[in-house]
Amino acid sequence: MSKQFDVQVVGAAILDSLENPTKILLSQRSGPESLRGKWEFPGGKVEAGETCQEALVRELVEELGIETKLSVEIPGPFEQGWQLTERHAMRVWCAEISAGEPRALERQLAVQWFDVAETLKEIDWIPADFPIVEALLATIQR
Ligand SMILES: Nc1nc2c([nH]c(=O)n2[C@H]2C[C@H](O)[C@@H](COP(=O)(O)OP(=O)(O)OP(=O)(O)O)O2)c(=O)[nH]1
């Protein structure tokens, strides 16, 4: 679909193993108030002069203190990925940690591993993430 979004966001589905995923690492937002306490894919906004993949690797270093290897993208319906709001769209990649122990280094309330198979659907996600979670589950369970 061809729709242009003003703000490009990138996020990562960080899995314990790309070959045999059992756990996923999520961040819990502290703000804004409407999203406080909700869980999300770690990531953030792409800055000028960066590719989406560069921005995602940078955000994961800044937010969680980890180096990551990105693998396949979870493709959304738009060129810019998945619609989050009228202005924001997010591209999402599967990823694996290559170095470091994840810690909440920025404004997150928490960073936590969740069981992919049993809990992914029961998590208090940012509502805009639901279709991405469905697509992720379809990708993983294939
Ligand atoms: N990182 C991330 N953001 C998401 C997800 N779902 C969702 O609606 N969003 C929204 C929340 C924010 O409005 C926007 C991402 O902004 P952000 O605040 O995480 O990015 P940032 O750290 O680069 O931004 P800034 O506060 O430094 O300006 O996208 C998600 O799964 N992950």
Counting from 1 in the atom list of ligand 1, the atom nearest the Cα of 125 is: 31
Q: Are 29 and 36 in contact (CB under 8 A)?
A: yes
| Residue identifier of the C-alpha nearest atom 29 of ligand 1 | 9
The whole-angstrom separation of Cα 105 and Cα 31 is 15
Domains of the chain are 7-140 (3.90.79.10)
Question: What pLDDT, on the 0 to 100 scale, is given for residue 120?
Answer: 84
Probe residue for ligand 1, chosen from 85, 90, 106, 133 as the CB with the greatest number of ligand atoms within 8 Å? 90
Probe residue for ligand 1, chosen from 26, 30, 45 as the CB with the greatest number of ligand atoms within 8 Å? 45
Question: What pLDDT, on the 0 to 100 scale, is given for residue 2?
Answer: 81
Strand 39-40 with 88-99, pairing? unpaired
The whole-angstrom separation of Cα 114 and Cα 25 is 6
Q: How far is the CA of 102 from the centre of ligand 1 (A)?
A: 18
Q: How far is the CA of 16 from the centre of ligand 1 (A)?
A: 23
Helix (H, G, I), strand (E, B) or coil at 125: strand
Please list the ranges in the chain whose pLDDT falls under 50. Answer: none
ipTM: 0.91
Residues having CB closer than 6 A to ligand 1 are 9, 11, 40-41, 43-45, 84, 88, 90, 126, 128-129
The contacts of residue 78 (CB under 8 Å, 6+ apart) are 1, 2, 3, 5, 89
Predicted TM-score (pTM) of the model is 0.95
